[in-house]
Amino acid sequence: MQEPLYQRLYMFFVGSVLLLALYFDLAWLVYTLVAFVIFEAVTNLRIVKLLARLSGSTADGARKAVSPIMARTSRFNFDAERAWQLSIGPVLVLSYALGSNTLWFIPWFIALTVIGAGLSGVCPWLIALRAIGFK
């Protein structure tokens, strides 16, 4: 599924900042980024929506269903992007804070996949969330 340009830039930015914070071992930057992402999800004051409104386009863009499952109406009245943000934040905190020896690869994996999603416009986790029923 092709994501709108602002969503792709946002994902690339989040992934890049996370990758830099992990590489230079800046714990404060990881926690700041997680707090920012969770704040955006909880309050629904998202940068993507703001940029889309300022440019005069819609925040959702033109979403095309990639399967009959995704063509049906959503089961939950909740954006998949917000659900993505709410799921990424706690996973990052738990894996970064608790996984110094055993779960060290999870934040790195998240950073690289979010960068890849920002570059390609295809995020498997967002596709899965939409298939589950988020809009």
What's the length of the chain?
A: 135
pLDDT at res. 52: 79
Distant-in-sequence, close-in-space partners of 113: CB < 8 Å, separation ≥ 6: 15, 123, 124, 125
> Quick one: 68 exposed, middle or buried, by C-beta within 10 A (0-12, 13-18, 19+)?
exposed
If you average pLDDT over residues 88-106, what whole number do you get?
A: 85
Q: Each residue of 67-95: pLDDT tens digit?
A: 555 555 778 889 999 999 999 999 999 88
Question: At how many degrees (to 10) do helices 5-23 and 105-120 cross?
Answer: 150
Read off the pLDDT band of 115 (50, 70, 90).
very high
Number of H helices, E strands in the chain: 7, 0
